[in-house]
Structure 1
Amino acid sequence: MAIYRGMNRQQLDAAYNNSARVADFPGLMRELRARSEVFYSTQDCRRDLRYGTSARQTYDWISCGKPNAPVFVFIHGGYWQNCVKEDFAYSAAGPLAHGYDVILAEYTLAPEASMTRIVTEIGQLLDHLVPQIAGRPLCLSGHSAGGHLAASHRSHPAVTRVMPISGLYDLEPISLGQLNDNLRLTPDEIAAYSPQHHIGPGAPMLITVGGGELPELIRQSDEYAAACQQAGEQAGLLHVKDCDHFQVLDDLADPAGAQLTALTARP
């Protein structure tokens, strides 16, 4: 029986299973973590700073070496229930090369944390950063679940730009499959924390997604960008050519990649 856009539960699970498209997903994650460890070793980085009292309410601040540099906050993905900031730190190389200080955000994962708590924690991080950045421009970015969290906070007063990458903007399909086993989304959370259904005034956005990703991920980005544009919000859309869900972070790590080229081309 179809439960979402003509898909049954098995098909819906497959439609959002990014790791299944990778021949050796555990091997890929080991490789990305190793790249991140090498990256950390070469940077001026303050690690595991705190924005709250919970164990995972931490962030890393990587300096580009320039005074009063703009700030690029990156929120990792993992469907709100997996991964850590150390898995994807290598992707900060691109923003750093463009003169950003980069902040890698951590947050409490499901099932320990509800979606309400996860979204709230990112707001706490941004509030914590306000006195430290002293009015510097702040680009809020994130990948996959992190893209959802970035879009959820585009109206925060500290945020001047948003670049969600391969994000999830409608939680309804997430709530109908196995991803919800740990998230346990409530109807109120689905309604409250789906950016697709809460488009109001906020920072200009560049919404990006890999051109080789699962069709549902591309659809979510396309429909969110279209809805923002229809509402009169500044929202560009970029399909990153030939990139899957993880290669899109290689593009972010590349100073000459499509995402940073597009981001820095806009005032």
Structure 2
Amino acid sequence: MSEMIELEKLYSPSYWNKRYPRDELIQKYEELISTLSNDTRHEIACNLNIPYGNGDKRKLDVFGTDLPTDAPIFIFIHGGYWQEGNKDLFSYVARSLHRHGCKTIIIGYTLCPQCTLHEIVSDVQLAIKVCLKYALENKTKCISIGGHSAGAHLAISLFPKFYTNLTNDERKLLKSVFLISGIYNLMPLVKTTINDPLKLTEVEAENLSPMFWNFEHVTDTSPKFFVIASENDSPAFVKQSELFANNLKKQEVPNEYMLLEELDHFNIIEKMADENYVIVKSIVNSLA
């Protein structure tokens, strides 16, 4: 029992922040990003709730519709352990990027237990295809994709099979992938309450874990991967990021590992509203 409790804590990032008690952190985080996102939807020209499939959640938002048609695009996938959160909480990600002349597309997706994790992966792939179609029609200069936490898992799940099945024109658009405080080995989650709505078996968890995938055959045309961890995140998340970056390096996939000091699982993504934030600058530089 004590081992299970320890595992539960290890995969609960809010336990590890050094700023607030756990419940207070979550409340402050949600209040902050909700306010920032509400302001963003009023301040930046946007096209909201564009359907890419059936259902209330299979929608995406495009921010920066006032920018040049061919402006670069950053596509963001939110986290929440595939069971919480929604795209509306993350509109604020577009604020700083808009000031740098980049459009932002925020993807929503159906959550567990209303669907399976396999279905969520398929949802995100369908949404990306719609984004690529939009980009090609508008002669977009280039694209970056990013995700936070479970969203980082969904972003890397676009590789290698989905990516290698794209057209040459679609692959040429994609310059970078930002994996922020991600999780890449899902097997430890099977024995935690996190798995209650996911209902993953050990075999499914292993098959859905990018840590064990072969990326070697995408290296010739691959975008650059940024694997980013925060110093005050759960040690399990930090270790998974480090191991995953090393796995990519061994397979000669272009990547950069970044460990951001004095940040935790939550303010590492909160700070995306700051146009001088290191991740924002890295995204903009990758799209230059």
- Structure 1 residues 60-105: Cα deviation after superposition (integer angstroms, max 9, x where no partner): 0001612201111101110000011111221222322222210000
Check conservation: 1:115, 1:189, Cα contact below 8 A. Answer: no
Q: Which moved more, 1:137-146 or 1:157-166?
A: 157-166
DSSP 3-state at the match of 2:92: helix
Unaligned runs of 5+ in 2: none
* Counterpart among 209, 216, 229 of residue 236 in structure 2: 216
Alignment match of 1:181 (pick from 173, 182, 196): 196
* Distance apart, 1:253 and its partner CA: 2.1
Contact 2:97 2:284 in 1 (8 A): no
Distance 1:212 1:57 in 2: 33
Matched, 1:109 2:111: yes
- For the Cα contact (< 8 Å) 1:60–1:104, is it kept in 2? yes
What residue in structure 2 maps to residue 65 of structure 1?
Answer: 67
Q: Compare 143-152 and 205-214 and name the one that shifted more.
A: 205-214
RMSD of aligned Cα (Å): 1.8
The answer to whether the aligner puts 1:166 opposite 2:181 as a matched pair is yes
Q: 58-67 or 35-44: which moved more?
A: 58-67
Change (3 A) 1:40 1:186: same
Where do 4+ consecutive residues of structure 1 move more than 6 Å?
none
- Following superposition of structure 1 onto structure 2, how do residues 129-144 of structure 1 map, counting pairs within 5 Å? 129-134=131-136, 136=140, 137-144=142-149
CA shift for structure 1 position 110:
0.5
Matched, 1:9 2:4: yes
**Which of 233, 243, 263 pairs up with 1:243?**
263
Counterpart selection for 2:13 from 10, 18, 23? 18
Which residue in 1 is equivalent to 2:79?
77
Q: Counterpart in 1 of 2:35?
A: 34
| Distance in 2 of aligned mates of 1:262 and 1:130 | 21
Asked whether the 8 Å contact 2:185–2:240 carries over to 1, the reply is yes
**1:12 is aligned with what amino acid?**
L
One-letter amino acid of the counterpart of residue 41, structure 1: H
Give the C-alpha shift of residue 265 in structure 1. 4.0
Structure 1 gap ranges (5+): 2-6
Match of 1:229 among 228, 242, 249: 249
2:229 is paired with a residue of what secondary structure?
Answer: strand
**2:272 pairs with 243, 252, 255, which one?**
252
Measured after TM superposition, the shift of residue 145 of structure 1 is: 0.4
Q: Percent identity?
A: 25
Q: What CA distance in whole angstroms lies between the structure 1 residues aligned with 2:194 and 2:126?
A: 25
2: CA distance between counterparts of 1:86 and 1:37?
Answer: 8
Structure 1 counterpart of 2:263, one-letter code? C
Deviations 1:220-263 (A, max 9, x none): 11100011001100010111221111110133222211112334
